[in-house]
Structure 1
Amino acid sequence: MMTQDMLYEVRNGAAWVTLNRPDALNAMNQNILDGYSEVIEKAEKDPEVKAVVFTGSGRAFSAGADLKYVLQFMGSGDPVKVRTFMKQAYEAFARVGECEKPTIAAVNGITAAGGLELTLACDLVIAAESVKIGDGHINFGMLPGGGSAIRLPRKISETRAKYLLFTGELLPVQKVADWGLVNEIVPDDQLIPRVEELVAKLTSKSPLAMRLMKHLVDQALDMPLDRALQTEMQVWEAYGQSEDVIEGLTAFTEKRKPAYKGR
């Protein structure tokens, strides 16, 4: 069940999820890790929600897992407890990555370890210009458990991923943006307005087309090219019978804004 550690608000067509432990740099405890599945399920079931935005309160997006919480498992010497924690971390970010609706990381401050893994699980990343970002697990003798060792080299190059993973450094956001990890950098005071602007653009599109497009991109990464192209054709054939594609084309010919219904 969500607590004050993770806030959820729906406004202007998007679910805004705020990590809310500012005094702990939004370090992820059990409440937050368990909360990801809940907020994604809630957003997916709400027809008013067309996108999901993740951000942090205070001066951090997230510094990663709460190390005191992690130590309860890792310091126990009990393999069952260790496996329980790793499964919890894996499932949290996997659920974000699998969300049927577009996800946006509105990165507002320090971003490390699990914070980085959250951005990697999101579809789009908009960052404030003061942000510093990196992996950081190695600084505490830890391995990534939420996907950064796997997703990071797929987002940027293998050598760049290894640099972040091996050094544990937090780099200026401009550096990682040049590497392809961030879509856009904005002045700190423009982060939320810019994300709201992006949300408005996304929510004006067909939610059905958006869901299918996201699915195609994600699935194609692990497919041979010929199979991926065939899959795209098959999905398009089915989508071509939808109300949304007819509405989009009709609105164009009638010179009006389309009113999509998601079906």
Structure 2
Amino acid sequence: MTAVHVRTENQVMYLLLDGGATMNSLIPSTLDDFERALDAAEVDEDLRAVVVTGAGEKAFSVGMDITFLESCFADVHGVFLPFLDRLHALLRRIELLPVPVIARVNGLARAGGFELLLACDLVVAAENARVGDIHLQFGVPPGAGASQRAARKLGDQKAKALLLTSLWLDGPTMVEWGLAFSAVPRERLDDEVERLVAAVRGRSRPAIAVTKLAVGAAQNLTLEEGLRYERELFEKMQVSAADADEGFRAYVERRDPHWGSADVRQLR
């Protein structure tokens, strides 16, 4: 059984997938824990980033639990498809969360674990991590978004190679392919994650949310549509939050800014 342990400190929420011998596999109660954490992240006005990682040194997450999968195949409509619907919704919530979500890939990430990291905004991987989608080895296609997110992140050729041939990528190859932001020796993983979260601590939460939304929409819009969308988001923020004016005043007055408490959910 994989539980999600939540720790929040210094404007960052850390989510630890802790599944012991199951290599942090996913079951319904794992999604329960994850959903509660995202509920808290959405309304925590002080939060600036979320970090997701796996317990231990072997795995980030190997996807759905093998024992649970047996019950899934025994009842596709009653168990399997409802679980996939929940996982789809969870991954979409990650993409729409108003703060960046960083995947700290400490080891093996496959199938559903691979689909989880695809939904994250930034990926930091250990150099010896192994990441891939192995659904086809078991006679099933991806079921939680890998075909769509991989194609958008990697392009047609690399996405098909990864999904159809069950390739495994190490950390440096993930960076080369555009699947990860950086790959570092395992002992430097925490330092690399800290380098990223330190850059968003103290920033305006509405400005972070708007920027993430705009960049996330770019691949699904034409340039003209994207420019209009950015303009709409910009206007929404100026009307609903005073952070832009405060940031300007703080810069001119050479002081730290004092951000407001605008509800960033209305900016979507």
Pair in the same fold by TM > 0.5: yes
Moved more, 65-74 or 79-88: 79-88
Amino acid at match of 1:74: F
- Please tell me whether residue 25 in structure 1 is matched to residue 23 in structure 2: yes
Asked whether the 8 Å contact 1:34–1:92 carries over to 2, the reply is no
CA distance in 1, matches of 2:260, 2:188: 31
CA distance in 2, matches of 1:21, 1:87: 22
CA distance in 2, matches of 1:223, 1:4: 37
- Please tell me whether residue 205 in structure 1 is matched to residue 189 in structure 2: no
CA displacement at 1:39 relative to structure 2: 1.1
**Aligned positions of 1:138-149 closer than 5 A:** 138-149=136-147
CA-to-partner distance for each residue in 1:123-182, whole Å, 9 max, x for gaps?
111111111111111122222121111100100011111111112232212112101110
CA distance in 1, matches of 2:79, 2:186: 40
- State the match for 1:178 in structure 2: 176
What runs of 5+ residues in structure 1 fail to find an aligned partner?
A: none
CA distance in 2, matches of 1:262, 1:104: 23
Asked whether the 8 Å contact 1:129–1:186 carries over to 2, the reply is yes
What runs of 5+ residues in structure 2 fail to find an aligned partner?
A: 263-268
SS at match of 1:7: strand
- Please tell me whether residue 9 in structure 1 is matched to residue 7 in structure 2: yes
**Aligned positions of 1:1-263 closer than 5 A:** 5-58=3-56, 59-76=58-75, 78-241=76-239, 242-263=241-262
Amino acid at match of 1:54: V
Asked whether the 8 Å contact 1:36–1:96 carries over to 2, the reply is no
Amino acid at match of 1:206: S
CA displacement at 1:205 relative to structure 2: 1.4
Moved more, 129-138 or 79-88: 79-88
CA displacement at 1:224 relative to structure 2: 2.2
Asked whether the 8 Å contact 2:171–2:184 carries over to 1, the reply is no
Runs of 4+ in 1 over 4 A off after TM superposition: none
Asked whether the 8 Å contact 1:51–1:101 carries over to 2, the reply is yes
Amino acid at match of 2:242: E
CA-to-partner distance for each residue in 1:172-206, whole Å, 9 max, x for gaps?
12112101110011221111122123212112211
**Alpha-carbon RMSD:** 1.8
Figure out how many residues of one structure are paired with residues of the other and give that number.
260
CA displacement at 1:52 relative to structure 2: 1.0
Amino acid at match of 1:245: A
CA-to-partner distance for each residue in 1:50-98, whole Å, 9 max, x for gaps?
211100101211111112212201133x533332232122222222222
CA displacement at 1:4 relative to structure 2: 6.7
SS at match of 2:220: coil
CA distance in 2, matches of 1:53, 1:256: 29
CA displacement at 1:117 relative to structure 2: 0.8
Amino acid at match of 1:203: R
CA distance in 2, matches of 1:107, 1:167: 22
Amino acid at match of 2:248: L
Q: TM-score, normalised by structure 2?
A: 0.90
- State the match for 2:265 in structure 1: none
Asked whether the 8 Å contact 1:126–1:182 carries over to 2, the reply is yes
Amino acid at match of 1:237: E
